[in-house]
Copies of this chain bind each other. A is one copy, B any other.
Amino acid sequence: MPGTLIIITAPSGAGKTTLVRGLLDRDPQVHLSVSYTTRSPRPGEENGRAYHFVDTESFRELRDRGEFLEWAEVHGNYYATSRTWIREQMAAGRDIVLEIDWQGAQQVRRVFPEAVGVFVLPPSFEELESRLRGRGSDSDDVIARRLLGARGEMRHVGEFDYAIINNELQEAIDDLVAVVRASRLRCANQRARHATYFETLEQD
């Protein structure tokens, strides 16, 4: 009973996190990928829930063994997606959501070509800018850098299977829920899930 791997990519400000939370609320079969990280657990953070916490040495070992689908350094801490963990989850029939950037998405697709890629777009550049400004906390310089990063990210929209324009949040959540539901119904997925039935169908 194999699950589906869903890659979700978006520029900062497109509302990806809220969208993914909406998907998880609506579809109990879908689970967020649990990353490895070298950062310290915050109070109340349980190992294996939000993150697998490891020290830098173990992280390097895992990485050198090729255990990571993709990894990145953010503010001096390392984060990575485990190949084995994803495989186990999918074998157990769970659908896993990976929130990563376009480069991570490319790396994951090399290992899991059947993964479904979803790119979340803001309604427009203007709207993205006003959302980033609306946070109020960032300097013009930071906002300009974010916008430039967003433009760079959005150029890769064509590498994804689906593009969801996050204009109206509820509509966009419905879109994402539909994409995940449809992905489960792809012929290859159905064949894997109902192997005996499909064998009978497709035999000579």
Number of copies: 2
B157-A124 in contact (CB<8A): no
Most interface-central of A164, A182, A185, A186 (chain B CB within 10 A): A182
B157-A201 in contact (CB<8A): yes
The interface bits of chain A over 43-84 (1 if a CB of B lies within 8 angstroms of the residue's CB, else 0) are: 000000000000000000000000000000000000000000
Q: Which of B119, B165, B187 contacts A162 (CB 8 A)?
A: B187
Give every chain B residue within 8 A of A174 (Cβ-Cβ). Answer: 181
- Is A158 in contact with chain B by the CB < 8 A criterion? yes
Q: A181-B174, A182-B181 are in contact. Are A190 and B202 (CB under 8 A)?
A: no
Give every chain B residue within 8 A of A40 (Cβ-Cβ). Answer: none
The interface bits of chain A over 187-204 (1 if a CB of B lies within 8 angstroms of the residue's CB, else 0) are: 100110010011011100
Give every chain B residue within 8 A of A186 (Cβ-Cβ). Answer: 161-163
Q: Which of B154, B187, B201 contacts A161 (CB 8 A)?
A: B187
- Across the interface, name the chain B residue whose C-beta is closest to A183: B182
- Is A178 in contact with chain B by the CB < 8 A criterion? yes
B155-A182 in contact (CB<8A): no
Most interface-central of A119, A160, A162, A177 (chain B CB within 10 A): A162
Residues of chain A having any CB pair with chain B under 8 Å: 119, 121, 124-125, 154-155, 157-158, 160-165, 174-175, 177-179, 181-183, 185-187, 190-191, 194, 197-198, 200-202
25 examples of A-B residue contacts, CB within 8 angstroms: A119-B187, A121-B201, A155-B201, A155-B202, A157-B201, A158-B202, A160-B187, A161-B186, A162-B182, A162-B185, A162-B187, A162-B190, A163-B185, A163-B191, A164-B185, A165-B190, A175-B181, A175-B185, A178-B181, A178-B185, A179-B181, A179-B185, A181-B182, A182-B182, A182-B183
6 nearest A-B pairs in the assembled complex, by CB-CB distance? A182-B182, A178-B181, A163-B190, A178-B178, A162-B185, A179-B182
